[in-house]
Amino acid sequence: MATPHIGAAAGDFAGIVLMPGDPLRARLIADTYLQDAVQVTSVRNVFGYTGSYRGKRLSVMAHGMGIPSASIYATELIRDYGVGTLIRIGSCGSVDGARLGLRDIVIAMGACTDSKVNRLRLLDHDFAAIADFEVLRTAVETAARLGKPVRVGNVFTTDLFYGVQPQLLDVLRGMNVNAVEMETAGIYGVAAQYGARALAMLTVSDVIPTGEAMDAEARQNSFQDMMEIALETALQ
């Protein structure tokens, strides 16, 4: 039953799929955290795996970079493979280092965007791209139980990695938007359209106004904190 972008068989994916952007990160997650992980797709080297975490069947699959790529994988997982819950685990750029520093974790309650995808869905009206409330609540409670601080709020999903305007950063700060990334508003739109649950949690990898960026070790440590929250959330 392969789809154009996923080569798995029916039933190969668990009900919950964790989604990093990077295919090699998906492989690392499968190798590090899942028991008996089996690779279920590798079309275009976008890897997906299914295994179990503490006895629960769980999948991990990359979504690539940007809304178009993430939307393709999210759509096919939900519509064609019957996946019910997507949890994006990614990185973001803080718009204000004093409020949100390197390694901090943001849980995206909502996502603004400069993309038109959700307007295409809504006859050119604004769509409030929001997380699924139950998954959001579980993630926030799980982070608290684990003693890992998280910020919960708005993010901005951009089509332009290079070229975020300084005025836009001012406006985002002024509207209490925490960080910039490239997929969440699209994934939330797909989830709404196809009736699934979605949540994005993001680690700050850079502070956009200052150009500060995490080194490799900090990346790895902060990634582990977010992974623990995501895996424990998936268990609930």
Residue 212 binding ligand ADE, by CB under 6 A: no
Closest distance of CB 202 from ligand ADE, Å: 8
Q: Which is nearer to ligand ADE, 85 or 91 (CB)?
A: 91
Residue 93 binding ligand ADE, by CB under 6 A: yes
Active-site residue 206, yes or no?
yes
- Residues in contact with ligand ADE, counted by CB under 6 A, come to a total of 11
- Helices 23-33/216-235 angle, 10° precision: 60
Which residue's CB atom is positioned nearest to ligand ADE?
Answer: 93
Residue 92 binding ligand ADE, by CB under 6 A: yes
Strand duo 56-61 + 151-157: pairing: unpaired
User: Which one of the listed residues 12, 96, 206, 225 is annotated catalytic?
Assistant: 206
Residue 228 binding ligand ADE, by CB under 6 A: no
Residue 51 binding ligand ADE, by CB under 6 A: no
Residue 91 binding ligand ADE, by CB under 6 A: yes
Residue 161 binding ligand ADE, by CB under 6 A: yes
Contact pattern from residue 168 through residue 187 relative to ligand ADE, giving x for each residue in contact according to CB under 6 A and a dash for the rest: ------------xxx-----
Spatial CA neighbour of 188 closest among 161, 154, 165: 154
Query: Quick check: helix, strand or coil at residue 124?
Result: coil
Spatial CA neighbour of 71 closest among 121, 108, 27: 121
- Give Cα separations from 30 to 149, 193, 224 (angstroms): 25, 28, 13
Spatial CA neighbour of 108 closest among 226, 232, 236: 226
* Residue length of the chain: 236
Could you list the residues that contact ligand ADE (CB under 6 A)? 91-93, 158, 161, 180-182, 205-206, 208
